[in-house]
Amino acid sequence: MIDFLRGIVSHVELEYVVLDVRDVGYRVFTPNPYALAKKEEAVTLYIHHSVREDAILLYGFASREEQTLFRKLLEVSGIGPRVALGILAGGKPETVIAAIQQENITFLTKLPGIGKKTAQRMILDLKDKLAGIASDAAVLSAAGAYLEPDLFQSGSGQGAGTAWEEAREALAALGYTAAELDRAWHGLQQTVIPEETVDSLMKRALQQLFKG
């Protein structure tokens, strides 16, 4: 089984990157492909190697914490690899862990692909199984920084509770600045449709951010 890969990102798509490892291209599904596209030097991705009857798939993560949390999320009924990737795209490991441990359903249901029932299952199945994945200090910091009631009331000017506000806050949690997010929204706003999902907006915003 592959544990990690180190190489150059040679190609980027919405859901995966192609990692060039000594002239062999590995397709690796990852939470935020366009964030990796900015890196010109070699990157290390910690791998979850999935072997099925009809496919062999690689899922890659920037840290051991993401890799471990991804595997824990797969233990929850109703969460498959695609949803687990969406969760990690929407929040740092310590943020998600803090939400689960504090039983913060409001936060969890803001993550892509997570409804109330799935959020409840996450809490029930994982609340006592996440110790040690992220440091206690990081989890406590995340609880204070991200789990306030007005988490998704950012100053985007689009009205509380909109898909963009939720996508914006998730991207901000990944480290993007307000100026970068405003620029991404400027490039998106003319093409946003009322029924567009948070997941879709995040992916398209990451494309805008990658273009600079």
pLDDT of residue 134: 67
pLDDT of residue 165: 79
Residue type, 47: I
Tell whether the torsion through CA atoms of 205, 207, 210 and 211 is positive or negative. Answer: negative
Residues of the chain with pLDDT under 50: 137, 146-161
What architecture is domain 67-146?
Orthogonal Bundle (1.10)
pLDDT of residue 71: 95
pLDDT of residue 154: 36
The residues with which 46 forms a beta bridge, in sequence order, are 4, 61
pLDDT of residue 151: 39
CB-CB contact of 90 with 170 (8 Å): yes
What residue spans define the domains of the chain?
4-61, 67-146, 163-211
CB neighbours (10 Å) of residue 3? 10
pLDDT of residue 152: 36
Does the domain spanning 4-61 belong to CATH 3.40.1310.30?
no
Instruction: Indicate the CATH number of 163-211 among 3.40.50, 1.10.8, 3.30.1940, 1.10.1740.
Output: 1.10.8
pLDDT of residue 47: 97
